[in-house]
Structure 1
Amino acid sequence: MRRQSETLLLVPLLPIFLLGMFPMLLIGLLGFFGLIIFGILLVCVGLTLALEAHGEFNEEIIVHGFARGSERATQLSHLHAATRSAVLLDLAGIALIAAGILGFFWAG
């Protein structure tokens, strides 16, 4: 039985490493200020996600008009799922901003 190289395992993980490199460099080079910037970016992503979900819901209502109950329930379910994930991103961003501010004043 031939043993495969471990480098083939690392090839699919390369894009994840490249995407995760930016926040780590931001935090490492800028310190607590980088943590605050990363938190602000997370809040912006959460707000964008919520606004896009509401826009898609409104577009569905405007374009297709009044839908049956089951279709409306599906649309509302998608809206609530997107809104919940947006709220979690907002909370994570606010926590990072608070941690950055507290760290800046505590360590600085």
Structure 2
Amino acid sequence: MRRQSETLLLVPLLPIFLVGMFPMFLIALLGFFGLAIFGVLVICVGLASSNEARDNFNHDVIVNGYARRSERAAQASDMHLAVKLGLRLEAVGAAMIVTAAIGLCYAG
């Protein structure tokens, strides 16, 4: 019986590697400045996530009208969870920027 090549196991992981390669090169080549840019990108993702959650909630209210109390509570809960995730991403991005600023001050 012929043995299959182990390289076929790596083929599904290739897109993940290619997507993750850009931020790692950004940090490696630009140093602390790259970390700050990556922090700004993380903040942008957090803001977009929060805005999208609010947009979906408002869209449901406008298009479908006010639902029953339980459905409205479930929609509001989903929105609050997504907004909290966005706030966490914004905090992580701000921490990355502060870390980069401290690193630039001490390394420079």
TM-score interval for Structure 1 and Structure 2 normalised by the shorter chain: over 0.9
Quote the Cα distance in structure 2 between the aligned partners of 1:74 and 1:81.
11
For each residue in 1:64-95, what CA deviation from the matched residue of structure 2 results, as whole angstroms up to 9, or x when unmatched? 11110221122112102211211121111011
Shift of 1:2: 5.2
Q: After superposition, where does 1:13-92 map in structure 2 within 5 Å?
A: 13-92=13-92
Quote the Cα distance in structure 2 between the aligned partners of 1:69 and 1:59.
17
Unaligned residue ranges in structure 1 (runs of 5+): none
TM-score of the superposed pair, with normalisation by structure 2: 0.92
Instruction: Report the identity percentage.
Output: 59
Number of aligned positions between the proteins = 108
Quote the Cα distance in structure 2 between the aligned partners of 1:82 and 1:19.
24
Unaligned residue ranges in structure 2 (runs of 5+): none
Quote the Cα distance in structure 2 between the aligned partners of 1:4 and 1:94.
47
Q: Which SS does the other structure have where 1:16 is aligned?
A: helix
Structure 1 runs (4+) greater than 6 angstroms displaced: none
Inter-CA distance 70–3: structure 2 relative to 1 (3 Å threshold): farther
Shift of 1:106: 0.6
Shift of 1:5: 2.2
